[in-house]
Amino acid sequence: MAVPNPALPLATSIAFFSNYLWAARQKLFATWVGEQQVGHLVRRNGAGQLAYAIVIGVAFAGASVSLASAAWSRSTICTRDGRSPPPAEAPGI
């Protein structure tokens, strides 16, 4: 069985983020998404891209380092009780 190229998911995520960034600059989001929210989403997703690239690099260091980084990232994303934060509610669509 062939091992997938680890750069492929990174390239895919960069392509999706580029599309997202283009849509934000063209103001193609729904009217209920404010400018401040779009800015926050772009910054958050950009930080996620950076973290994703770092994690792919760390994966080459070894399995234990990769698992430790996954545990750390999970601890930074989840709330204090260990659950993921609830998704933002969209106004009545």
Contact predicate 55/69, CB 8 Å: yes
Domain range list for the chain: 41-77
Which pLDDT score, from 0 to 100, does residue 13 have? Answer: 80
Q: What is the pLDDT of residues 10-47, one digit of tens each?
A: 788 888 888 888 888 888 877 777 888 888 888 888 88
Structure pTM?
0.54
Residue-averaged pLDDT of the chain: 74
Using only C-alpha atoms, what is the Rg of the chain? 16
4 has a pLDDT exceeding 80: no
